Amino acid sequence: MNPTYEPSDLESRWYSVWEQAGVFRPEINPDGEPYCIVIPPPNVTGVLHMGHALDMSIQDAIIRRKRMQGYQALWLPGTDHAGIATQNVVERQLANEGLTRHDLGREQFVDQVWAWKAASGNRITEQMRMLGFSTDWTRERFTLDEGLSRAVRRVFVSLYDEGLIYRGNRIINWCPRCHTALSDIEVEYEDEVGELSYLRYPFVDGDGHVTVATTRPETMLGDTAVAVHPDDSRFADAIGRMVRLPLMDREIPVVGDDAVDPEFGTGAVKVTPAHDPLDFEIAERHDLPAVKVIDTEAKITRAGGEFFGQDRFEAREAIRYELERQGFLEKVEDHHHSVGHCSRCGTVVEPMLSLQWFVKVGPLVVPAIEAVRDGSTRFTPQRWEKNYLHWMENLRDWCISRQLWWGHQIPAWYCDACSETMVAVDEPTICTACGGTVLTREEDVLDTWFSSALWPFSTLGWPDETVDLATFYPTSVLVTAFDIITFWVSRMMMMGIHFMDDVPFRDVAIHGLVRSEDGRKMSKSLGNALDPLELVERYGADAVRLALVQSAAPGHDVPMKEEWIDAARRFGNKVWNAVRFATEHLGVKDVPVSGAYPEHPEPEDAWILGRLAEVGAEFDRLFDDYRFSDAYGLLYNFAWSEVFDWYIEMAKPRMKTGRGAASARQTLGVVLRDLLEYFHPAIPHLTEELWFHLSGDELLATAPWPEPPLGDIPTSMATFQDLVGGIRRFRSEYQIGPRVPLDATIVDGTGEAPQWWIDQMDALVGADASFGESPASPSGYRHLISGPVEVFIPIADLIDVPAEQARLAKTIDEAEEQLTRSQKKLGNESFRERAPEDVVRKEEAKVSELETTLAKLHAQRAELG
Ligand SMILES: [Zn+2]
Ligand SMILES: [Zn+2]
């Protein structure tokens, strides 16, 4: 066994051993209960970032533990075709050659994206291997693969036939840069200071005017009405009259509509049905025409008269200028409002009337809400249920068409002769209405989230009735960050319940986002992003994984710093050294694969075995509640401060020929074995390697999960640790080297202090201990007390007492002087008034620190006599 732990040596080696042994396949436990996680598919264009590393480290920990517990554990991997993102990558490549996708045409362009995918699209899955994730690669899926594409078409056709998918003119969010519609959640709102322009629309039939307020004066070109609240007395006379639209010389009515907020602006609003969702609804109620004045390039259309061809922001200025010149601009005020931006490119989104495909969500939402209310699907932490329910209760129809080429082309065909729409899984050849044979396919593709909404069942083989689908649906848990509840979780719930008649997952375990150590979002532009792959190179995958899992408190953001990964790596060293020490003393027979806990352990062994069982049970409880940071925090502390710092030190002198040598060896063997097992889900490579050295050739990855039996923990252990700690402190206070022997008299009032303390005090702190009586006076002794037990250590032989007394006296004088000075300062009114608060605080802290030090020094002086 190497004297040092070198992660890079062993990590890739073990990964291929596992993969070749079929460890990642559920078939390895053919008789187990099924347990399944489908991975949130990363974008095929993606590079593994810390967020993925956290999300997947948690999933791997869960699935590895279930596998060891004997479940048929499936963690199903795959990637998402990521519509806009992937199309952008290839379009950028083309741009370098001076080409656009239109130069290639649709078919050639899509071929080129597939070629890109074949060459570069497996980067992220390679990176997942580097981190040791145990996904079943034989079941890997891609949202655009043949099976999943068929599932998408089936779902589309089925929803269409049920009337849950329709095509219609609606106001959608349009990105003029990406040239596509966006769904509501692909729009990011930012608070901005804009300007509120007050425009006068004069009455046609006499004097006076109505003043309307707007932040987007350029849309006035498309106004087809003015609306006021029907109960607003200020406008009681106006409803039903006509006003003249300035600049356009068009007569438009004033209508009364409940949707108007009388508090906004003047209480009268302009109605632009083609460029505002609320106005669109008002127009439907009052049968108003819609005039499109902004086109897909965000330029003014021909309907905008003299402003035709101007960019929307340029037109805003020009129109305001013209209105002012002609006396229609009453005033302009600064105005705070939120402005929607494209989540991909940041361009200001243009609400626009457009013919698009929609999912009618109403009937799908109801059972998806019910399933969370009745506990069929549970969120951890539970507070995220509120977020989910709020979202679902306010969901509007989902715009699913995108004006892209990369994606699932909508399976709809239009008859050239009679305009009939046909929706079908397979391409129709003849019009069902007129028998025409010239059919044109819908050009749009589906929103990427449409295919990922089917992920939990499409990946298992749906619509075919496969064994996997029957075995693993509903899946057990979905692990994801909270920011994706709306995009994804909600939609999987709707589709899963609708098509499978059961929820897609029993549990949703929500974790936070990985942030930089100051709590900010990690980003390349801020330069504070940690790259998990660089960290793997520097510290090994296990260190990165352990640091992440240990920080993953449910639902909380995870501030991450490199130091923690370094600490995890140092912990790896510690485990390495512990096992290396053990292998020098233990034979393979001392480390059975499971069970074999010593039946008549010595007290030290009984203590560590009892603690192992307690910690193991608590670890399992925390893990099952998805409290990974608490679970691994507990285990980490147990390993470090109880097993390594105490137990191994106590076992050392006993293992060869000491008291209960066989019990010591057997105990050390099973404790280390169980520790490796508990740690395996978080740090699989290191534990597998150590397991190999410790116990021979069975794989740890498929070893049974430990179940140490609860036993009695000798109560004398806590007292003993307390006293040994006291002796250690005594040595360090007087700077007495660890090899300098010292005497210790143990005075035990109850007569319960066990004999084994004597040899352990020798082994641990070099104390020649014996049971005895208290000395006549404690002066000249270090006096330790723990519960009913006292220990006296004579000091005179260990140090030069007079010199120590002199040193103490000097130290005490100095400390007292400092204390007086500080107290005087604090007693001074003007200091307290003038000095900054933190300076006063510091001074106060200094006083209390000095008082504690002095108390200790005085006690020391007393014990020196
Ligand atoms: Zn955009
Ligand atoms: Zn036809």
DSSP category for residue 395: P
Q: Nearest ligand, CA of residue 403?
A: 1
For the segment 758-791, what is each residue's pLDDT rounded down to a tens digit? 888 888 888 888 898 888 887 888 888 888 888 9
pLDDT (average), residues 366-388: 95
Distance 358 CA to ligand 1 centre (A): 20
Distance 620 CA to ligand 1 centre (A): 46
Distance 181 CA to ligand 1 centre (A): 9
Distance 177 CA to ligand 1 centre (A): 5
Distance 507 CA to ligand 1 centre (A): 34
pLDDT (average), residues 799-803: 83
Give which of 176, 200, 172 is closest to 185, Cα–Cα: 172
How would you list the strands of the sheet with 350-359, edge to edge?
Answer: 180-182, 165-175, 350-359, 398-399
Q: Nearest ligand, CA of residue 438?
A: 2
Distance 102 CA to ligand 1 centre (A): 18
> Sorting pLDDT into bands at 50, 70 and 90, what band is 178?
confident
Following DSSP, what letter does each residue of 77-88 receive, concatenated? -EEB--HHHHHH
Q: Nearest ligand, CA of residue 435?
A: 2
Distance 154 CA to ligand 2 centre (A): 23
255 φ, ψ to 5°? -115, 155
From CA 548, how far away is CA 560, in angstroms rounded?
Answer: 8
Give, for 181, the enclosing helix (H) or strand (E).
strand 180-182
Distance 405 CA to ligand 2 centre (A): 26
Q: Nearest ligand, CA of residue 437?
A: 2
What pLDDT does residue 128 have? 94
**Total residue length of the chain:** 865
- Asked if residues 217 and 245 have their Cβ atoms less than 8 Å apart, the reply is no
- Asked if residues 171 and 277 have their Cβ atoms less than 8 Å apart, the reply is yes
Distance 424 CA to ligand 2 centre (A): 15
> Sorting pLDDT into bands at 50, 70 and 90, what band is 251?
very high
pLDDT (average), residues 187-192: 89
Beta bridge partners of 768: 743
Q: Nearest ligand, CA of residue 416?
A: 2
| 249, pLDDT greater than 90 | no
Distance 404 CA to ligand 1 centre (A): 12
From CA 805, how far away is CA 569, in angstroms rounded?
Answer: 45
| 388, pLDDT greater than 80 | yes
- Sequence-ordered list of residues with C-beta below 8 angstroms from that of 58, at least 6 positions apart, any chain: 479, 509, 511, 548, 549, 552, 628
Q: Nearest ligand, CA of residue 415?
A: 2
Cα 393 off chain centre by:
24
pLDDT (average), residues 580-602: 80
Range of weakest confidence among 237-251, 267-281, 303-317, 826-840: 826-840
Cα 266 off chain centre by:
46
Q: In one letter, which amino acid is 546?
A: L
From CA 290, how far away is CA 519, in angstroms rounded?
Answer: 47
| 525, pLDDT greater than 80 | no
Distance 84 CA to ligand 1 centre (A): 9
Q: Nearest ligand, CA of residue 431?
A: 2
- Asked if residues 87 and 113 have their Cβ atoms less than 8 Å apart, the reply is yes
Task: Name the percent of the chain lying above pLDDT 70.
Answer: 99
- Sequence-ordered list of residues with C-beta below 8 angstroms from that of 119, at least 6 positions apart, any chain: none
Distance 341 CA to ligand 1 centre (A): 8
- Sequence-ordered list of residues with C-beta below 8 angstroms from that of 617, at least 6 positions apart, any chain: 710
- Asked if residues 160 and 152 have their Cβ atoms less than 8 Å apart, the reply is no
Using alpha carbons only, give the angle 178, 183, 184 rounded to the nearest 5 degrees.
120
For the segment 749-760, what is each residue's pLDDT rounded down to a tens digit? 777 778 888 888
Residue 625 tokens read as 């509640």
Distance 23 CA to ligand 2 centre (A): 56
Distance 347 CA to ligand 1 centre (A): 6
Return the exposure string of 664-677: e unless at least 16 CB atoms fall within 10 Å of the residue's CB, then b. bbbbbbbbbbbbbb
pLDDT (average), residues 522-528: 75
Distance 346 CA to ligand 1 centre (A): 6
* Alpha carbon distances (Å) from 177 to 295, 345, 356, 399, 829: 12, 8, 18, 18, 66
Distance 401 CA to ligand 2 centre (A): 23
Distance 175 CA to ligand 1 centre (A): 5
Q: Nearest ligand, CA of residue 187?
A: 1
Q: Nearest ligand, CA of residue 88?
A: 1
From CA 413, how far away is CA 429, in angstroms rounded?
Answer: 10
From CA 260, how far away is CA 239, in angstroms rounded?
Answer: 13
Secondary structure tally for the chain: helices H, strands E: 28, 29
Distance 417 CA to ligand 2 centre (A): 5
Distance 168 CA to ligand 2 centre (A): 19
Task: Name the percent of the chain lying above pLDDT 90.
Answer: 62
From CA 819, how far away is CA 826, in angstroms rounded?
Answer: 11
Q: Nearest ligand, CA of residue 413?
A: 2
Q: Nearest ligand, CA of residue 188?
A: 1
For the segment 20-39, what is each residue's pLDDT rounded down to a tens digit? 999 999 999 999 999 999 99
> How many Cβ atoms from other residues are within 10 Å of residue 779's Cβ?
12
Distance 314 CA to ligand 1 centre (A): 20
- Sequence-ordered list of residues with C-beta below 8 angstroms from that of 366, at least 6 positions apart, any chain: none
Distance 454 CA to ligand 1 centre (A): 25
What pLDDT does residue 861 have? 83
Q: Nearest ligand, CA of residue 440?
A: 2
Distance 179 CA to ligand 1 centre (A): 7
| 58, pLDDT greater than 90 | yes
For the segment 260-290, what is each residue's pLDDT rounded down to a tens digit? 999 988 999 999 999 998 999 899 899 999 9
| 864, pLDDT greater than 90 | no
Using alpha carbons only, give the angle 612, 618, 620 rounded to the nearest 5 degrees.
100
Give which of 338, 313, 352 is closest to 181, Cα–Cα: 352
Which three-class secondary structure state does DSSP give residue 119?
helix
Distance 359 CA to ligand 2 centre (A): 25
User: What's the maximum distance between 2 C-alpha atoms anywhere in the chain?
Assistant: 117
> Sorting pLDDT into bands at 50, 70 and 90, what band is 85?
confident
From CA 410, how far away is CA 135, in angstroms rounded?
Answer: 31
What pLDDT does residue 681 have? 97
Distance 157 CA to ligand 2 centre (A): 19
What pLDDT does residue 833 have? 84
| 337, pLDDT greater than 80 | yes
Distance 420 CA to ligand 2 centre (A): 5
Distance 305 CA to ligand 2 centre (A): 37
Residue 584 tokens read as 């020098």
Distance 413 CA to ligand 2 centre (A): 10
Q: Nearest ligand, CA of residue 174?
A: 1
**In whole numbers, what is the pLDDT of the chain averaged over residues?**
91
What pLDDT does residue 556 have? 79
How would you list the strands of the sheet with 505-511, edge to edge?
Answer: 378-380, 505-511, 475-481
For the segment 100-119, what is each residue's pLDDT rounded down to a tens digit? 888 999 999 999 999 998 88
Q: How do 412-415 and 421-423 pair as beta strands? A: antiparallel
> Sorting pLDDT into bands at 50, 70 and 90, what band is 807?
confident
Give which of 525, 261, 482, 508 is closest to 377, Cα–Cα: 508
For the chain, how far is it from start to end, CA to CA, in angstroms? 53
| 662, pLDDT greater than 90 | no
What pLDDT does residue 332 have? 93
Top pLDDT among 88 and 634 is at 634
For the segment 468-483, what is each residue's pLDDT rounded down to a tens digit? 999 999 999 999 988 8
Distance 343 CA to ligand 1 centre (A): 7
Distance 158 CA to ligand 2 centre (A): 22
Distance 344 CA to ligand 1 centre (A): 5
From CA 539, how far away is CA 532, in angstroms rounded?
Answer: 10
From CA 697, how far away is CA 352, in angstroms rounded?
Answer: 66
- Asked if residues 756 and 602 have their Cβ atoms less than 8 Å apart, the reply is yes
- Sequence-ordered list of residues with C-beta below 8 angstroms from that of 311, at least 6 positions apart, any chain: 298, 299
What pLDDT does residue 110 have? 93
| 590, pLDDT greater than 80 | no
- Asked if residues 565 and 547 have their Cβ atoms less than 8 Å apart, the reply is yes
What pLDDT does residue 605 have? 93
What pLDDT does residue 472 have? 97
Q: How do 78-79 and 141-142 pair as beta strands? A: parallel
pLDDT (average), residues 492-511: 96
DSSP category for residue 483: G
| 328, pLDDT greater than 90 | yes
Cα 352 off chain centre by:
35
* Alpha carbon distances (Å) from 354 to 346, 351, 645: 21, 9, 70
From CA 841, how far away is CA 852, in angstroms rounded?
Answer: 17
Which residues lie near ion ligand 1 (Cβ < 5 Å)? 175, 177-178, 342, 344-345, 347
> Sorting pLDDT into bands at 50, 70 and 90, what band is 300?
very high
Top pLDDT among 685 and 601 is at 685
Distance 450 CA to ligand 1 centre (A): 19
Top pLDDT among 832 and 539 is at 539
Distance 427 CA to ligand 2 centre (A): 15
Contacts of 753-761 spanning 24+ positions with Cβ under 8 A: 753/716, 753/719, 753/789, 754/603, 754/714, 754/716, 756/602, 756/603, 756/604, 756/659, 757/716, 757/720, 759/653, 759/658, 759/659, 760/604, 760/650, 760/720, 760/724, 761/723, 761/724, 761/727
| 588, pLDDT greater than 80 | no
Distance 274 CA to ligand 2 centre (A): 30
Distance 429 CA to ligand 2 centre (A): 11
From CA 178, how far away is CA 634, in angstroms rounded?
Answer: 49
Distance 194 CA to ligand 1 centre (A): 21
Q: Nearest ligand, CA of residue 430?
A: 2
> Sorting pLDDT into bands at 50, 70 and 90, what band is 329?
very high
pLDDT (average), residues 487-510: 96
> Sorting pLDDT into bands at 50, 70 and 90, what band is 801?
confident
Distance 186 CA to ligand 1 centre (A): 9
Distance 106 CA to ligand 2 centre (A): 25
Distance 390 CA to ligand 1 centre (A): 27
Q: Nearest ligand, CA of residue 434?
A: 2
| 330, pLDDT greater than 80 | yes
Q: In one letter, which amino acid is 155?
A: V
Give which of 760, 78, 16 is closest to 454, Cα–Cα: 78
From CA 287, how far away is CA 482, in angstroms rounded?
Answer: 42
Range of weakest confidence among 22-36, 129-143, 496-510, 750-764: 750-764
Q: Nearest ligand, CA of residue 87?
A: 1
The packing angle between helices 541-551 and 684-695, to 10°, is 120
Q: Nearest ligand, CA of residue 181?
A: 1
Give which of 486, 475, 668 is closest to 584, Cα–Cα: 668
The packing angle between helices 716-733 and 603-624, to 10°, is 100
